[in-house]
Amino acid sequence: MDKKYKENNGCAGICCKGCGKMDAPLNTFDWLADVPGNEEYTDIVEVQFKNTRKGYYRNSNNIPLQKGDVVAVEASPGHDIGKVTMTGRLVLLQLKKTRLTPDSEFKRIYRKARPVDMEKFEEAKAREHDTMIRSRQIALDLNLDMKIGDVEYQGDGLKAIFYYIADNRVDFRQLIKVLADVFKVKIEMKQIGARQEAGRIGGIGPCGRELCCATFTTNFVSVSTSAARFQDVSLNPQKLAGQCAKLKCCLNYEVDAYVEASKRLPQRDIELETKDGTYYFFKCDIMRGEVTYSTDKHIPANLVTISGRRAFAVIEMNKRGERPESLNNEGVQEQKRSVDLLEQENINRFDSVQRNNKKRRKGNRHDGRKGNSKREKGGNPEA
């Protein structure tokens, strides 16, 4: 077996050194992990904590670390427990996203987690759900207009981070006093948005994949309904909204391509004049560059689908005072075949190919036998 392949940190199989068990949000593939000297390139290490919280720490003790190692890092107060998610050259590229430089001040990595550290970490983690439920009731008793979405205990159990959502500014000074008195830990409040809450909770989207905010999205950009209009998506709030009750982040993924492609189509308010009559815009397929026109302005009637290039040609003819015979070049609309893979051909087409190959092989064997019989009789097979 090649030495660079090994069973890496609990991975459920033989995998490359840069691979890891994809069981954590925002997990990344270190494609430079097998490069010699990559781990010694920098002493800054990326560490991930619960859900989507990540941090960068300095490995000042030169501890040999790999992706997947559980480490104890410096915190205020005490220490925290996290998992190493990246080392080497790619860490410096990740720092640019957070606007940090290698010369910035980073907290230190103390050691690899010991069994005693893991016991404290598991005890603190087991209290998170009960703490969240009780803190919600405390906030309700104090008449605070806020929702506590998640609670994260520090690895040593000395501090707890309360993630909350609020539409307006909240004065939670009294809440902090009550929480500190009830749970006997240091309290830290962090306000997050609805998209960040969905990322921390996780889930499956309507596309059948994990939520983008829980897997790779870190910077949340505002999404407007204009992105749906550019892509001719139905403005149905139930379909456009994600699990965070906000517009889906994926609406922004292809909007630039649609805006660029729509420039190759005529404006929708332009009417096309032919000798048959006047045609009005009905619908368009932006990606295929096709426009469908109707002879009625309000209902689909005598629909004709033409390319954007043909539409611009008719517009230029109308500007010169000319009217073509019809919108189509040949006067007949071409019926195009569906491009749906399920409708292209029958799935049994693979079996027919195999049967044809068998017939060819059988025919070749039969011809060979005829040639051999002619040779045995002394005949000329080429005659």
- 27-50 pLDDT per residue, tens: 677 777 778 877 778 889 999 888
**Mean predicted confidence (pLDDT) in 291-313:** 89
Residue 175 within a domain: yes
Task: Report pLDDT for 339.
Answer: 54
Do residues 126 and 105 both lie within one domain?
no
Do residues 130 and 190 both lie within one domain?
yes
DSSP string computed for 30-68 = -TTTTSTTSTTS-SEEEEE-STT-EEEEE-TT-----TT
DSSP 8-state class, residue 338: P
Instruction: Write the CATH number for 178.
Output: 3.30.300
Do residues 64 and 98 both lie within one domain?
yes
- Rounded CA gap, 292 and 165, in Å? 46
Do residues 97 and 23 both lie within one domain?
yes
**Number of domains the chain is built from:** 3
Residue 381 within a domain: no
- Rounded CA gap, 46 and 286, in Å? 42
Report field, pTM of the whole predicted structure over 0.75: no
User: Which of 196, 218, 250 is the endpoint of a domain?
Assistant: 196
Do residues 137 and 156 both lie within one domain?
yes
Q: Is the pLDDT of residue 236 over 90?
A: no
Residue 340 within a domain: no
User: Which of 59, 94, 112 is the endpoint of a domain?
Assistant: 112
Task: Report pLDDT for 344.
Answer: 55
Residue with tokens 């008793």: 141
Helix (H, G, I), strand (E, B) or coil at 202: coil
Residue 169 within a domain: yes
Do residues 68 and 166 both lie within one domain?
no
Least confident of 11-25, 62-76, 164-178, 264-278: 11-25
Do residues 28 and 107 both lie within one domain?
yes
Residue 248 within a domain: no
Q: Which residue in 259, 272, 343, 357 sits closest to 307, CA to CA?
A: 272
Q: Is the pLDDT of residue 66 over 50?
A: yes
Instruction: Calculate the average pLDDT of the chain.
Output: 80
User: Which of 177, 196, 215 is the endpoint of a domain?
Assistant: 196
Task: Tell me the β-bridge partners of 45.
Answer: 57
pLDDT in tens, 312-329: 999 999 999 888 888 886
- Rounded CA gap, 132 and 166, in Å? 16
Do residues 180 and 269 both lie within one domain?
no
Residue 357 within a domain: no
**Mean predicted confidence (pLDDT) in 336-364:** 59
pLDDT band at 363 (very low <50, low <70, confident <90, very high): low
Residue 9 within a domain: yes
Do residues 33 and 67 both lie within one domain?
yes
Task: Report pLDDT for 6.
Answer: 40
Higher-scoring residue by pLDDT: 181, 32: 181
Do residues 81 and 10 both lie within one domain?
yes
Task: Report pLDDT for 381.
Answer: 43
β-pair type (107-112, 54-58): parallel
Domain of 302, in residue numbers = 264-334
Higher-scoring residue by pLDDT: 146, 331: 146
Give alpha helix (H) positions in the chain: 89-97, 115-126, 128-141, 173-183, 194-201, 212-215, 225-230, 237-240, 255-262, 308-319, 341-344, 349-376
Higher-scoring residue by pLDDT: 96, 336: 96
- Rounded CA gap, 123 and 146, in Å? 27
**Mean predicted confidence (pLDDT) in 81-89:** 88
pLDDT in tens, 90-142: 888 888 878 888 888 899 999 999 999 999 999 999 999 999 999 999 999 99
Task: Report pLDDT for 14.
Answer: 39
Do residues 107 and 129 both lie within one domain?
no
Least confident of 250-264, 292-306, 318-332: 318-332
In a 13 Å sphere around the CA of 349, the CA atoms on its Cβ side amount to 6
Give the amino acid at 356: N
Residue 348 within a domain: no
Do residues 90 and 58 both lie within one domain?
yes
Helix (H, G, I), strand (E, B) or coil at 153: strand
| Residue 185 buriedness (CB in 10 A; 0-12 / 13-18 / 19+) | middle
pLDDT band at 333 (very low <50, low <70, confident <90, very high): very low
